[in-house]
Amino acid sequence: MRLALLLAAAAAIAAVPVFFEDSYWRANLTICAINVMLAIGLDFILGYAGQLNLGHSAFYGIGAYASTLLIMKLDTPFWMAFALAMALSGVAGMALSIFAVRLRGHYLAIASLGFAVIVHQVLLNWISVTQGPLGIYAIKPPPAIALPGLPVIAFSNPANMFYLVAGFALLFYLLLDQLARSPIGETLTAIREDEVSAASLGINCAAWKVFAFGVGAAVAGAAGAFYASFVGTLVPDAFIITESFTILAMVILGGMGTLIGPVLGAIVLTILPELLRGFGDLRLVLYGFALMLAVLFMPGGMAQAARLARALCGRVLRAQVPG
Protein backbone atom coordinates (compact mmCIF):
# COMPACT_ATOMS: atom_id res chain seq x y z
CA MET A 1 0.00 0.00 0.00
CA ARG A 2 2.69 2.46 1.00
CA LEU A 3 4.86 1.40 -1.91
CA ALA A 4 1.91 2.01 -4.25
CA LEU A 5 1.42 5.50 -2.77
CA LEU A 6 5.12 6.20 -3.13
CA LEU A 7 5.10 5.14 -6.79
CA ALA A 8 1.99 7.23 -7.40
CA ALA A 9 3.70 10.26 -5.86
CA ALA A 10 6.84 9.71 -7.97
CA ALA A 11 4.72 9.30 -11.11
CA ALA A 12 2.79 12.49 -10.28
CA ILE A 13 6.03 14.43 -9.83
CA ALA A 14 7.37 13.07 -13.11
CA ALA A 15 4.18 13.86 -15.01
CA VAL A 16 3.30 17.31 -13.68
CA PRO A 17 5.84 19.43 -15.68
CA VAL A 18 4.65 17.74 -18.86
CA PHE A 19 1.15 19.11 -18.32
CA PHE A 20 2.27 22.58 -17.31
CA GLU A 21 4.39 23.84 -20.13
CA ASP A 22 4.61 27.57 -19.57
CA SER A 23 7.37 28.78 -17.28
CA TYR A 24 4.95 30.64 -14.97
CA TRP A 25 3.26 27.43 -13.89
CA ARG A 26 6.52 25.52 -13.75
CA ALA A 27 7.88 28.18 -11.41
CA ASN A 28 4.80 27.80 -9.23
CA LEU A 29 5.32 24.05 -9.12
CA THR A 30 8.82 24.48 -7.74
CA ILE A 31 7.56 26.98 -5.15
CA CYS A 32 4.91 24.40 -4.33
CA ALA A 33 7.57 21.74 -3.67
CA ILE A 34 9.49 24.21 -1.46
CA ASN A 35 6.30 24.92 0.49
CA VAL A 36 5.71 21.20 0.95
CA MET A 37 9.14 20.95 2.62
CA LEU A 38 8.35 23.90 4.88
CA ALA A 39 4.96 22.49 5.83
CA ILE A 40 6.14 18.97 6.69
CA GLY A 41 9.07 20.40 8.68
CA LEU A 42 6.74 22.59 10.73
CA ASP A 43 4.27 19.73 11.13
CA PHE A 44 7.01 17.57 12.64
CA ILE A 45 7.60 20.24 15.30
CA LEU A 46 3.98 21.28 15.79
CA GLY A 47 1.86 18.26 14.92
CA TYR A 48 4.08 15.49 16.28
CA ALA A 49 6.08 17.08 19.09
CA GLY A 50 3.32 19.58 19.98
CA GLN A 51 5.71 22.55 20.04
CA LEU A 52 3.95 25.79 19.16
CA ASN A 53 6.48 27.20 16.73
CA LEU A 54 5.46 30.54 15.16
CA GLY A 55 8.93 31.30 13.85
CA HIS A 56 9.40 28.81 11.03
CA SER A 57 10.19 31.64 8.59
CA ALA A 58 13.40 32.28 10.56
CA PHE A 59 14.83 28.83 9.80
CA TYR A 60 13.76 29.18 6.18
CA GLY A 61 15.58 32.52 5.98
CA ILE A 62 18.68 31.24 7.76
CA GLY A 63 18.94 28.38 5.25
CA ALA A 64 18.49 30.69 2.27
CA TYR A 65 21.00 33.32 3.39
CA ALA A 66 23.55 30.85 4.77
CA SER A 67 23.74 28.81 1.58
CA THR A 68 23.83 31.90 -0.65
CA LEU A 69 26.52 33.67 1.37
CA LEU A 70 28.64 30.51 1.57
CA ILE A 71 28.48 30.15 -2.19
CA MET A 72 28.95 33.81 -3.14
CA LYS A 73 31.40 35.01 -0.47
CA LEU A 74 33.40 31.86 0.29
CA ASP A 75 33.12 30.00 -3.04
CA THR A 76 31.72 26.92 -1.30
CA PRO A 77 30.42 24.26 -3.73
CA PHE A 78 26.60 24.25 -3.90
CA TRP A 79 25.93 20.90 -2.28
CA MET A 80 28.34 21.54 0.55
CA ALA A 81 26.71 24.93 1.14
CA PHE A 82 23.35 23.18 1.02
CA ALA A 83 24.39 20.70 3.71
CA LEU A 84 25.92 23.43 5.86
CA ALA A 85 22.79 25.60 5.52
CA MET A 86 20.63 22.68 6.64
CA ALA A 87 22.94 22.06 9.58
CA LEU A 88 22.96 25.74 10.55
CA SER A 89 19.17 25.99 10.44
CA GLY A 90 18.92 22.81 12.47
CA VAL A 91 21.34 24.16 15.06
CA ALA A 92 19.38 27.44 15.20
CA GLY A 93 16.20 25.45 15.81
CA MET A 94 17.87 23.44 18.54
CA ALA A 95 19.29 26.60 20.10
CA LEU A 96 15.85 28.22 20.22
CA SER A 97 14.42 25.02 21.61
CA ILE A 98 17.05 24.72 24.35
CA PHE A 99 16.34 28.33 25.19
CA ALA A 100 12.66 27.62 25.36
CA VAL A 101 12.72 24.09 26.71
CA ARG A 102 11.13 25.12 29.98
CA LEU A 103 8.40 26.97 28.13
CA ARG A 104 5.23 25.51 26.80
CA GLY A 105 2.35 26.66 24.69
CA HIS A 106 1.95 30.38 24.48
CA TYR A 107 5.35 31.26 25.89
CA LEU A 108 7.08 29.21 23.24
CA ALA A 109 4.77 30.73 20.61
CA ILE A 110 5.85 34.26 21.57
CA ALA A 111 9.51 33.27 22.00
CA SER A 112 9.62 31.76 18.49
CA LEU A 113 7.80 34.79 17.12
CA GLY A 114 10.39 37.02 18.78
CA PHE A 115 13.18 34.88 17.33
CA ALA A 116 11.72 35.31 13.83
CA VAL A 117 11.54 39.08 14.31
CA ILE A 118 15.20 39.14 15.41
CA VAL A 119 16.35 37.07 12.41
CA HIS A 120 14.39 39.27 9.98
CA GLN A 121 15.82 42.44 11.55
CA VAL A 122 19.37 41.06 11.48
CA LEU A 123 18.98 40.25 7.77
CA LEU A 124 17.71 43.80 7.22
CA ASN A 125 20.38 45.59 9.24
CA TRP A 126 23.56 43.56 8.78
CA ILE A 127 24.10 45.36 5.51
CA SER A 128 27.82 44.59 5.13
CA VAL A 129 26.96 40.89 4.86
CA THR A 130 23.37 40.58 3.65
CA GLN A 131 23.14 43.86 1.69
CA GLY A 132 20.04 44.60 3.79
CA PRO A 133 16.87 45.65 2.00
CA LEU A 134 18.73 45.97 -1.31
CA GLY A 135 18.95 42.20 -1.45
CA ILE A 136 21.33 39.78 -3.11
CA TYR A 137 21.03 39.30 -6.86
CA ALA A 138 22.23 36.88 -9.54
CA ILE A 139 22.28 33.78 -7.37
CA LYS A 140 23.17 30.82 -9.58
CA PRO A 141 21.04 27.68 -9.82
CA PRO A 142 22.56 24.42 -8.53
CA PRO A 143 25.44 23.18 -10.75
CA ALA A 144 24.50 20.97 -13.69
CA ILE A 145 24.91 17.24 -13.25
CA ALA A 146 26.96 15.62 -16.01
CA LEU A 147 26.92 11.86 -15.69
CA PRO A 148 29.07 9.96 -18.20
CA GLY A 149 27.05 8.67 -21.14
CA LEU A 150 23.96 10.73 -20.27
CA PRO A 151 22.89 14.21 -21.44
CA VAL A 152 23.85 17.00 -19.04
CA ILE A 153 21.09 17.87 -16.56
CA ALA A 154 21.07 21.66 -16.18
CA PHE A 155 19.02 23.21 -13.39
CA SER A 156 18.57 26.46 -15.24
CA ASN A 157 15.83 24.45 -16.94
CA PRO A 158 12.69 24.94 -14.78
CA ALA A 159 11.46 21.39 -15.30
CA ASN A 160 14.77 19.92 -14.08
CA MET A 161 14.76 22.28 -11.11
CA PHE A 162 11.26 21.12 -10.25
CA TYR A 163 12.34 17.48 -10.41
CA LEU A 164 15.27 18.23 -8.12
CA VAL A 165 13.25 20.13 -5.48
CA ALA A 166 10.25 17.79 -5.66
CA GLY A 167 12.58 14.81 -5.40
CA PHE A 168 14.07 16.24 -2.22
CA ALA A 169 10.59 17.05 -0.88
CA LEU A 170 9.64 13.41 -1.42
CA LEU A 171 12.88 12.28 0.24
CA PHE A 172 12.24 14.46 3.31
CA TYR A 173 8.65 13.23 3.40
CA LEU A 174 9.83 9.62 3.48
CA LEU A 175 12.44 10.37 6.16
CA LEU A 176 9.96 12.21 8.38
CA ASP A 177 7.32 9.53 7.77
CA GLN A 178 9.82 6.86 8.80
CA LEU A 179 10.71 8.87 11.91
CA ALA A 180 7.06 9.44 12.78
CA ARG A 181 6.27 5.70 12.48
CA SER A 182 9.31 4.66 14.48
CA PRO A 183 9.41 4.54 18.30
CA ILE A 184 10.78 8.08 18.09
CA GLY A 185 7.48 9.27 16.62
CA GLU A 186 5.58 7.53 19.41
CA THR A 187 7.85 9.17 21.96
CA LEU A 188 7.16 12.59 20.46
CA THR A 189 3.39 12.12 20.42
CA ALA A 190 3.55 10.87 24.00
CA ILE A 191 5.27 14.13 24.96
CA ARG A 192 2.69 16.11 22.98
CA GLU A 193 -0.24 14.41 24.69
CA ASP A 194 1.02 14.48 28.26
CA GLU A 195 4.50 15.61 29.14
CA VAL A 196 4.29 14.63 32.80
CA SER A 197 3.21 11.06 32.04
CA ALA A 198 5.87 10.79 29.35
CA ALA A 199 8.53 11.93 31.80
CA SER A 200 7.28 9.42 34.37
CA LEU A 201 7.97 6.67 31.82
CA GLY A 202 11.60 7.74 31.73
CA ILE A 203 11.43 9.81 28.55
CA ASN A 204 13.83 12.74 28.46
CA CYS A 205 11.23 15.24 27.19
CA ALA A 206 13.61 18.18 26.86
CA ALA A 207 16.06 16.25 24.67
CA TRP A 208 13.33 14.96 22.35
CA LYS A 209 11.78 18.41 21.94
CA VAL A 210 15.19 19.78 20.98
CA PHE A 211 15.57 16.90 18.51
CA ALA A 212 12.18 17.55 16.88
CA PHE A 213 12.91 21.27 16.61
CA GLY A 214 16.30 20.56 15.06
CA VAL A 215 14.91 18.16 12.44
CA GLY A 216 12.01 20.45 11.45
CA ALA A 217 14.27 23.50 11.26
CA ALA A 218 16.88 21.65 9.17
CA VAL A 219 14.22 20.73 6.59
CA ALA A 220 13.20 24.41 6.50
CA GLY A 221 16.88 25.27 5.94
CA ALA A 222 16.98 22.96 2.90
CA ALA A 223 13.84 24.65 1.58
CA GLY A 224 15.58 28.01 2.01
CA ALA A 225 18.69 26.89 0.11
CA PHE A 226 16.51 25.70 -2.79
CA TYR A 227 14.46 28.89 -2.69
CA ALA A 228 17.55 31.08 -3.07
CA SER A 229 19.04 29.07 -5.92
CA PHE A 230 15.68 28.83 -7.68
CA VAL A 231 14.47 32.43 -7.41
CA GLY A 232 17.94 33.92 -7.88
CA THR A 233 17.35 36.93 -5.62
CA LEU A 234 17.10 37.24 -1.85
CA VAL A 235 15.48 40.04 0.14
CA PRO A 236 14.85 39.92 3.91
CA ASP A 237 11.11 40.53 3.43
CA ALA A 238 10.74 37.07 1.89
CA PHE A 239 11.24 35.78 5.45
CA ILE A 240 8.96 38.14 7.35
CA ILE A 241 6.94 36.70 10.24
CA THR A 242 3.72 36.54 8.22
CA GLU A 243 5.49 33.88 6.12
CA SER A 244 5.42 31.72 9.27
CA PHE A 245 1.67 32.22 9.44
CA THR A 246 1.28 31.11 5.83
CA ILE A 247 3.23 27.91 6.53
CA LEU A 248 1.13 27.43 9.65
CA ALA A 249 -2.04 27.79 7.58
CA MET A 250 -0.80 25.03 5.24
CA VAL A 251 -0.24 22.69 8.17
CA ILE A 252 -3.58 23.47 9.84
CA LEU A 253 -5.74 23.39 6.71
CA GLY A 254 -4.01 20.18 5.61
CA GLY A 255 -4.35 18.55 8.99
CA MET A 256 -1.57 18.68 11.56
CA GLY A 257 -0.30 15.51 13.14
CA THR A 258 -0.50 13.71 9.79
CA LEU A 259 2.26 14.17 7.22
CA ILE A 260 0.13 13.79 4.11
CA GLY A 261 -2.24 16.54 5.30
CA PRO A 262 0.37 19.34 5.28
CA VAL A 263 1.54 18.16 1.85
CA LEU A 264 -2.00 18.64 0.52
CA GLY A 265 -2.32 21.91 2.45
CA ALA A 266 0.90 23.24 0.90
CA ILE A 267 -0.16 22.24 -2.62
CA VAL A 268 -3.66 23.71 -2.30
CA LEU A 269 -2.54 26.92 -0.62
CA THR A 270 0.19 27.51 -3.23
CA ILE A 271 -1.90 26.75 -6.31
CA LEU A 272 -5.25 28.14 -5.15
CA PRO A 273 -4.07 31.76 -4.65
CA GLU A 274 -2.60 31.66 -8.18
CA LEU A 275 -5.92 30.48 -9.60
CA LEU A 276 -7.69 33.21 -7.63
CA ARG A 277 -5.43 35.99 -8.95
CA GLY A 278 -8.48 37.42 -10.72
CA PHE A 279 -9.96 38.22 -7.31
CA GLY A 280 -7.05 40.53 -6.49
CA ASP A 281 -6.76 41.40 -2.82
CA LEU A 282 -10.00 39.61 -2.07
CA ARG A 283 -8.22 36.25 -2.31
CA LEU A 284 -6.31 36.94 0.91
CA VAL A 285 -9.57 37.85 2.61
CA LEU A 286 -10.94 34.48 1.52
CA TYR A 287 -7.71 32.85 2.68
CA GLY A 288 -8.08 34.28 6.19
CA PHE A 289 -11.74 33.37 6.25
CA ALA A 290 -10.98 29.78 5.20
CA LEU A 291 -8.38 29.47 7.95
CA MET A 292 -10.91 30.68 10.53
CA LEU A 293 -13.66 28.37 9.27
CA ALA A 294 -11.30 25.40 9.16
CA VAL A 295 -10.35 25.86 12.82
CA LEU A 296 -13.97 26.35 13.87
CA PHE A 297 -15.55 23.50 11.94
CA MET A 298 -12.81 21.15 10.73
CA PRO A 299 -9.83 21.42 13.10
CA GLY A 300 -8.37 18.21 11.63
CA GLY A 301 -8.08 19.91 8.23
CA MET A 302 -8.24 18.12 4.89
CA ALA A 303 -6.96 14.89 6.45
CA GLN A 304 -10.04 14.86 8.69
CA ALA A 305 -12.30 15.74 5.77
CA ALA A 306 -10.84 12.84 3.77
CA ARG A 307 -11.43 10.43 6.66
CA LEU A 308 -15.02 11.65 6.99
CA ALA A 309 -15.57 11.28 3.25
CA ARG A 310 -14.16 7.76 3.29
CA ALA A 311 -16.36 6.76 6.22
CA LEU A 312 -19.37 8.24 4.48
CA CYS A 313 -18.58 6.38 1.23
CA GLY A 314 -18.17 3.17 3.19
CA ARG A 315 -21.57 3.64 4.80
CA VAL A 316 -23.23 4.37 1.47
CA LEU A 317 -21.63 1.30 -0.14
CA ARG A 318 -22.65 -0.94 2.73
CA ALA A 319 -26.20 0.39 2.52
CA GLN A 320 -26.35 -0.55 -1.16
CA VAL A 321 -25.13 -4.09 -0.64
CA PRO A 322 -27.70 -5.65 1.69
CA GLY A 323 -26.45 -8.32 4.06
Partner 1 sequence: MSTVILQQGINGIVFGSLYVLVALGLTLIYGVLVQINFAHADVVTLGAFAAYFFTFVFGGNYLVSIGVALVVGAALGWLVNAAIFAPLRERGSELLPLIATIGASILLQNAMLIWFGPIPYAFDSPYSNAVLRLWGGTYITWQNLIIIGVSTLTIAMLYAFMKLTYMGKALRAVAQDRETAGLMGIDPNKLIMLTFVIASALAGMGGAMLGPILVLTPFAGTTVIVKAFAIVIIGGFGNVEGTIIAGLLVGLIESYTTQLVNPGLTDIVVFTLLLAMLALRPTGLIAEKREENV
Least separation in angstroms between CB 155 and partner 1: 34
- What whole-number distance in Å separates Cα of residue 210 and Cα of residue 100? 9
Among 23, 80, 106, 310, binds partner 1 (CB under 8 A): 106
Among 6, 231, 291, 298, binds partner 1 (CB under 8 A): 291
Q: Are 27 and 158 in contact (CB under 8 A)?
A: yes
Among 66, 111, 161, 266, binds partner 1 (CB under 8 A): 111
Q: Are 110 and 231 in contact (CB under 8 A)?
A: no
DSSP secondary-structure letter at 126?
Answer: -
Q: Are 36 and 267 in contact (CB under 8 A)?
A: yes
The full 3-state SS of 246-297, as one line of letters, equals HHHHHHHHHCCCCCHHHHHHHHHHHHHHHHHHHHCCHHHHHHHHHHHHHHHH
Q: Which residues pair with 145 in a beta bridge?
A: 153
- What whole-number distance in Å separates Cα of residue 50 and Cα of residue 212? 10
- Nearest C-alpha neighbor of 166 from the set 60, 33, 264: 33
Using the rule CB under 8 A, is 248 a contact of partner 1? yes
Q: Which residues pair with 153 in a beta bridge?
A: 145
Q: How many residues bind partner 1 (CB under 8 A)?
A: 43
In the bound state with partner 1, the residue whose beta carbon lies nearer, of 106 and 310, is: 106
Task: Candidates 2-10, 17-25, 32-40, 96-104: pick the segment binding partner 1 (CB under 8 A).
Answer: 96-104
Least separation in angstroms between CB 213 and partner 1: 15
**Looking only at residues 14 through 53 of this chain, which bind partner 1 when binding is defined by CB under 8 A?**
52
Among 245, 268, 273, 298, binds partner 1 (CB under 8 A): 245
In the bound state with partner 1, the residue whose beta carbon lies nearer, of 295 and 312, is: 295
Among 284, 311, 312, 313, binds partner 1 (CB under 8 A): 284
Task: Candidates 64-72, 120-128, 137-145, 268-276: pick the segment binding partner 1 (CB under 8 A).
Answer: 120-128
Q: Is 287 exposed, middle or buried (0-12, 13-18, 19+ CB in 10 A)?
A: middle
- What whole-number distance in Å separates Cα of residue 52 and Cα of residue 244? 12
Using the rule CB under 8 A, is 110 a contact of partner 1? yes
- What whole-number distance in Å separates Cα of residue 230 and Cα of residue 224? 10
In the bound state with partner 1, the residue whose beta carbon lies nearer, of 145 and 193, is: 193
Residues that bind partner 1 (CB under 8 A): 52, 99-100, 102-107, 109-111, 113-115, 117-118, 121-122, 124-125, 241-242, 245, 248-249, 252, 280-282, 284-285, 287-296, 299
